[in-house]
A and B are shown apart, each in its own frame.
Chain A
Amino acid sequence: MSAAVPAGSRQHRRRQIIGWALFALVVVLIPFLIADTYSPTILGNRYTFGLGNLSQAIGLMVAVLGLNIATGYSGQLSLGHSFFVGSGAYLTAVLVNEFHWSYMATLGVVVPGLFVFGVLFGIPALRIQGLYLGLLTFAVAAVFPSIIRLDEVADRTGGSNGLLIDSDLEAPTWAPLGTVTEWLHAIPGVGSRVPDGLTGRQEEAVYKYFLLVIIAAVCFWLVRNILAGRVGRALVAIRDNPLGAAANGVNLAAYKTLSFGISAAVGGVAGTMLAMHSGFVGPDEFGFSMAILLIVGLIVGGSGTLHGAVVGGLAIQFVPVWSSQTQTLPGTDVALEGPYGTAILGGLLIIIIFALPGGTAHGFRRIKARLMPVAPQPPSG
């Protein structure tokens, strides 16, 4: 075990930079490694993990991030965040299909639109607290699919059949995917596993992945900055002790509605990302089961942490994928059937609440603090 490094020292900075560089390398490397679908055989089961799974997970990360702002940071239990995600996805789908906008341009409507929507939703939520808000949002989540199926809007939303989105995202010619491939070949060890060239389909998938990574990174960065300042402190104060926050001059109503607005806007972006990824939106995708899954992601990852959203997004995407491909109980011949991925997620939710109330992000942080201790420094001046 190494000695504690003072926070803000050169060693600490260096360690942080190395950490982020490694993370960035992994983020860049992975799409090339699994562009061809990665099919390992683990304990007698054969799996195929495509890049699409990962892209979907990135969209879900942003969705969990959005929920995190309302529920994790400002403590307003929302069991209906799928409503915002679904609205974002459908808004994007309709704008692309009917007005031939590009996907990225639709963000210009989705973000402000969903922000206003979230604020409007947050106003009645001011009078409704805790469990009651959970009750209301739970019902709202269940209603989303039936709104999409309404006869009045079905010719635009595609009703029960869902909506295929016309435009597809092709890698533009300027995208330096070939150059990146060559660089990656130079990395010893893993470089040899990077394919020499990408087919058109793979190129498109890799391009989409990077687009989603960039949008997600911007979202996380913006949310981090919002939460690191005055707004974040106010929200956490409201969550931990509303009376105390109000007594200290925090305008509860304004900050609570603001948190719903930001949360909905981020959720909308997540919807756009999911629509970009799959090129399809369907009403039941954004129903009540997604709402619950987002809560699972929030709790499993770690409520009130940004890292938690990343872990949560990965968990709610990959646990069902993994379980749907697991044919036999690992290591044995016992056949498994049925939707037990959901059961595993439910069990995970209860175990995490029980054993690790801060979520896995908290667990990681504790392990990291043990292995690479950083001594906090008093602020100078």
Chain B
Amino acid sequence: MGVLVSVLGVFDVSFDKLSNGELWLAQFFRGLSDGATYASVALALVMIYKSTGFINFAQGSLALLGVYLAYIFSVEQGLPVAVAVVCAMVASAVVAAFVERVFIRPFPPDHVLPLVIVTLGLLLIIDSAVGIVWGFRTRSLPSMFPSGAPIEWGIAQLTWRTIGNLGTVFAVVGLLYLLLSRTKVGLAFRAVSSNLESARLVGIRVGPTLGFGWALAAAIGTLGGALVVPDLLLEPSIMLRVLIFSLAAAALGGLDSMVGAVIGGLVVGLARNLLVTFLDLSELALATAVAVILVVLLVRPTGLFGSTRVERV
């Protein structure tokens, strides 16, 4: 007990805060809202990892591009935000399919390291292209959901936005599940993920299937970006932080588990908001992500829901 008190003392914890139920609830809601956005980008990362075995470090950049397109469609062209986001998802899916065809497919799929380096190159190119085209001025993208909160307890508000974010993520997971389990292209995608060579031997066109995976991942990432940006302001470096939290979420859930990505996203979102509030660590919000990644990789490298990889020893 003494140890606990002294640890809390180091972090400057006030017991007033800890006993403040409304504050807990408020941060809980914020955590859910953030978590939903991390979960979407983590889903995109997991899609790529599942099918190709590498982490797409450019996932955040593709989402960034998508969000800028959504901004163009909604604010500049005057479309309703939800329609604009759907258009942006389609557009970023097309871009991602193109990127996959041109930059990823020429490389042998079993050499992971060069592919990772290529995604880093893509990150540099896309981020600076966004900076070149749209500049570094911050902009605000309106949310897809109405403002206001249907439920309030003092400072704790369950806003429409939080509900919408959560609902969107669960809807995406549901649709993905249907797509992967009930359609032919989903079956092909699962076959390629589980064994690329065998899939090729039974006549699945591996290249286009992976391209489809990239397109789908980019669309989901764009949706995640469109959920997170209304809370922040749109500028070219915005998705980097989101990418890191999403990486933590994906690592926590297991890099090849979609359900894991969603749960990991929510846990990281909650951990981040609650820790930051109660331990006064606002500068260390990112470090919580690093801590999550480190602990998960050390204690349970497959994450909570990932499948254990059997390696030849």
Contact = CB atoms under 8 A, between A and B. Distances in A.
Interface of A: 77, 79, 124, 127-128, 130-132, 134-136, 138-140, 142-143, 146-147, 149-151, 243, 288, 292, 295-296, 299, 337-343, 345-350, 353-354, 357
B297 interface: yes
A88 to B, nearest CB: 20
Interface stretch (B168-176, B205-213, B279-287): B279-287
Interface in B102-125: 103, 106-107, 112-114, 116-118, 120-125
Interface of B: 54-55, 57, 103, 106-107, 112-114, 116-118, 120-125, 127-129, 131-133, 135, 240-241, 244, 247-248, 251, 283-287, 289-290, 293-294, 297-298, 301, 313
A139 B248 contact: yes
Contact of B301 (A132, A288, A343): A132
A174 B37 CA distance: 62
A342 B124 contact: yes
Contact of B247 (A124, A138, A347): A138
Given A135-B247, A338-B131, A353 B294 contact: no
Given A128-B301, A139-B293, A340 B121 contact: no
Contacts of A299: 117
Nearest to B119: A350
B284 A343 contact: no
Given A292-B123, A343-B128, 18 more contacts: A127-B301, A128-B298, A132-B297, A134-B55, A135-B247, A139-B244, A139-B248, A146-B285, A147-B283, A292-B120, A340-B128, A341-B128, A343-B124, A346-B120, A346-B121, A346-B122, A346-B123, A353-B118
Contacts of B129: 343
A346 B124 contact: yes
**Among A139, A146, A288, A337, which residue has the most Cβ atoms of chain B within 10 A?**
A139
A143 B290 contact: yes
B290 A139 contact: yes
A135 B125 contact: no
B297 A127 contact: yes
A296 B125 CA distance: 12
Contact of B124 (A292, A337, A354): A292
Contacts of A349: 117-118, 120-121, 124
B294 A124 contact: yes
Contacts of B244: 138-139, 142
11 contacts: A132-B251, A134-B55, A139-B247, A142-B286, A146-B283, A337-B132, A340-B132, A342-B124, A346-B120, A349-B117, A353-B121
Contact of B116 (A127, A134, A139, A140): A134
Contacts of B114: 353, 357
A339 B113 contact: no
A342 B283 CA distance: 27
Contacts of A337: 132
Nearest to A348: B121
Contacts of A136: 290, 293-294, 297
B130 to A, nearest CB: 10
Contact of B112 (A131, A243, A348): A131
A52 B29 CA distance: 51
B281 to A, nearest CB: 9
A345 to B, nearest CB: 6
A147 B281 CA distance: 11
Contacts of A135: 55, 247, 251, 293, 297
A295 B120 contact: yes
A150 B283 contact: yes
A135 B135 CA distance: 29
A347 B102 CA distance: 13
A339 B114 CA distance: 25
A139 B297 CA distance: 13
Nearest to B297: A128
B122 A131 contact: no
Given A338-B132, A347-B121, A149 B283 contact: yes
B298 A127 contact: yes
B241 to A, nearest CB: 8
A367 to B, nearest CB: 23
Contacts of A348: 121
Nearest to A292: B120
B16 to A, nearest CB: 20
Contacts of A346: 120-125, 128
Contacts of B132: 337-340, 343
B121 to A, nearest CB: 4
A136 B292 CA distance: 10
A112 to B, nearest CB: 25
A339 B112 contact: no
Contact of A288 (B103, B106, B125, B240): B240
A131 B301 CA distance: 12
A134 B117 CA distance: 10
A124 B132 CA distance: 39
B160 to A, nearest CB: 31
A76 to B, nearest CB: 11
B286 A146 contact: yes
Given A135-B247, A149-B283, A339 B131 contact: yes
A142 B117 CA distance: 17
A219 to B, nearest CB: 25
B299 to A, nearest CB: 9
Nearest to A293: B124
Given A128-B298, A139-B293, A295-B120, A339 B128 contact: yes
Contacts of A142: 240-241, 244, 286
A146 B283 CA distance: 6
Contacts of B241: 142
Contacts of B248: 139
Contacts of B290: 136, 139-140, 143
B55 A342 contact: no
B124 A77 contact: no
Contacts of A343: 124-125, 128-129, 132
